Amino acid sequence: MKKSLRYLLLLGSIWLNAQEKGTLKPSEFVITPEFLLGISAEANDFFPERSLQKQFIVGLGRKNDHNTKEWAYWLKQPKTGLNIGVTDLGNPDELGYSLSLMPFIEFDAFGRRQKDIKVLVGMGTSYFNKKYDEEDNFYNQAVTTDITWSFRASLNYVFLKTHKIDYRFGLVYFHNSNGHTKLPNQGLNSFLGSISADIKNPLKRPEYSIDDVMEAPEKSVYDYMSFRTGLGINVFALPFNDKKGVYTIAGEYGRVWNKTYKFGIGFYYRFYEHYYDYINDNESLVQDGKEFEAYKENPWWNASAIGLHAKFEFLLDHFGMEMQIGANLFKPAYKIDWRINEGWDYPPRELPDNWQLGEYTTKYELKQIISTRMGIKYYLLGTNQIPKHNVFIGAHINANLGQADFSEVSLGYVYNFNLKGRE
Mark whether 141 and 225 lie in a shared domain: no
**Would residue 148 count as lying in a domain?**
yes
Q: Is residue 65, in this structure, part of any structural domain at all?
A: yes
Q: Which pTM was predicted?
A: 0.88
Same-domain check for residues 345 and 366? yes
Same structural domain, 389 and 265: yes
The answer to whether residues 312 and 403 belong to one domain is yes
Report yes or no on 276 lying in a domain: yes
Query: In whole angstroms, what separates CA 13 from the centre of its chain?
Result: 16
Tell me the pLDDT tens digit for each residue of 186-215.
999 999 999 999 998 766 666 655 445 557
How does pLDDT run across 23-36, given as a tens digit for each residue?
445 558 899 999 99
Domain boundary among 209, 238, 264: 209
pLDDT of residue 29: 86
What tens digit of pLDDT does each residue of 144-182 get?
999 999 999 999 999 999 988 999 999 999 999 999 999
Are 270 and 129 found together in one domain?
no
Considering the domain boundaries, does residue 214 fall inside one?
A: no
Domain assignment present for 216: no
Please check whether residues 260 and 147 belong to one and the same domain.
Answer: no
Per-residue pLDDT at 109 exceeds 90: no
- Indicate the SS3 state at residue 405: strand
Give the domain extent around 81: 2-209
Look at residue 189 and tell me if it is in a domain.
Answer: yes
Q: Which of 209, 234, 264 is the last residue of a domain?
A: 209
Residue 367's CB is within 10 A of a number of other CB atoms, namely 21
Q: 305 near 330, Cβ under 8 Å?
A: yes
- For residue 324, what is the domain's CATH number? 2.40.160
Question: Last residue of some domain: 181, 209, 237?
Answer: 209
Percent of the chain with pLDDT over 90: 78
Count of the separate structural domains present in the chain: 2
Residue 68 and residue 134 in one domain: yes
Instruction: Decide: 244 and 233 in contact? Cβ < 8 Å.
Output: yes
For residue 107, tell me if it sits in a domain: yes
| Residue 215 located in a structural domain | no
Q: Are residues 264 and 186 in the same domain?
A: no
Query: Residue type for 16, please?
Result: L
pLDDT tens digits, 398-419: 999 888 999 999 999 999 997 6
CATH number of the domain enclosing 102: 2.40.160.20
Given pLDDT bands bounded at 50, 70 and 90, which one contains residue 12?
Answer: low
Q: In this predicted structure, what is the pLDDT of residue 24?
A: 47
DSSP letter for each residue of 347-373:
--SS--TT--PPP--HHHHHHHHEEEE
Vertex 332: Cα angle to 178 and 249 (nearest 5): 65
Quick check: 57 pLDDT over 90?
yes
Q: Are residues 244 and 203 in the same domain?
A: no
Mean pLDDT value across the chain: 90
* pLDDT of the residue at 422: 44
Based on the fold, state whether residues 90 and 153 are members of the same structural domain.
yes
Which of the residue ranges 70-84, 110-124, 162-176, 365-379 would you say has the lowest mean pLDDT? 110-124
Looking at the fold, whether 170 and 259 belong to one and the same domain comes out as no
221: which strand partners?
A: 257, 420
Answer yes or no: do 156 and 234 share one domain: no
Per-residue confidence at 421, pLDDT binned at 50, 70, 90? very low
Q: Express each pLDDT in 249-304 by its tens digit.
A: 999 999 999 999 999 999 999 999 999 999 999 999 999 999 999 999 999 999 99
pLDDT, tens digit (0-9, with 9 covering 90-100), for 61-108: 988 877 878 898 898 889 999 999 999 999 999 999 999 999 999 998
